[in-house]
Amino acid sequence: MASLKDIKKRISSVKNTQQITKAMKMVSAAKLRRAQEAAVSARPYAEKLQQVLFNLARREEVDAHPLLVQRGKGRALILLITADRGLCGGFTANVSKAAERFIRENVQGFDAIDLMITGRKGKEFLRSRVGDNIVKVHENLGANLNYKTASLLGQEIVRSFEDETYDAVYLIYNAFESAISQIVTLEQLLPIKAETTPEIEGNATDYIYEPNRPEVLSQILPKMVDVQIFRGLLESNASEHGARMAAMDSASRNAAEMIGKLTLQYNRARQAAITTELMEIISGSESVK
């Protein structure tokens, strides 16, 4: 049985841990509010632009622009958005497992599937699982998250598609639903293909191109890739803070429960020690008599 001193040290250690988890929860809660506002405010623009692009893709020939060309199943690239820091529950594991599952399920469909990862934790999680597929890792993007960052990633991906390094590009990230719920999302970035939904069918529009069709397409199609990546980064950022806040709240409650159990154990041990001392005193008193 542990001594009173050992139990007291454990209680003190758990209390210190609880203070840290509570502080981290408060920090994540403050960051979550800003990140959630940014993610939610970006959705209407991204969704409207996507609707316009789908309408354009339905009306254009596949050779109207390189980003519309369906080249079949050659090499594929997955842009996987993960976290740079841990202590956020299953945030990174869930999205990384989705990427691993996609690779395993489609390994026969493509000549090769490469991974471009944002976030150190995603690299660490997948290094031992599909390490050979990882071609590039971007770290600490969340420290200065802005549209320029997404645009640089988008330009890199568009170049690799136009150069025919890759024939298909996918985006996997955690979409923000609430502080305790994130949805693993898989989207095809390239080639841009038409999708038919009741909303798109009901808003079918003919477009007049100014100054001309090639120039409009050359501007708006790459921008669509940038916007999708930026939205994915914002959604993932909000999801990460929500997941970390929930994880730290759970850790704080677990610490409180552990402190209660250790305190009960301490009191019982202390009571047993006092009882033992009393018995010794009584025994000594009886022996003197």
DSSP states of 238-288: HHHHHHHHHHHHHHHHHHHHHHHHHHHHHHHHHHHHHHHHHHHHHHHHHHH
Residue 223 designated active-site:
no
Give dist(CA 157, CA 27) in Å, integer: 34
The total number of residues written for the chain in this structure:
289
- Of the candidates 11, 32, 80, 88, the residue annotated as catalytic is 88
Hey, what long-range contacts does 27-33 have (CB within 8 A, 24 or more apart)? 28/241, 28/242, 28/244, 28/245, 28/248, 29/241, 29/245, 31/241, 32/179, 32/238, 32/241, 32/242, 32/245
How is residue 115 written in tokens? 């991974």
Q: What Rg, from alpha-carbon coordinates, does the chain have?
A: 28
Nearest to 192 by CA among 73, 74, 69: 69
Place of tokens 């009901």: 202
Concatenated DSSP letters for 164-177?
TS-SEEEEEEEEEE
Q: Indicate which residues carry an active-site annotation.
A: 88
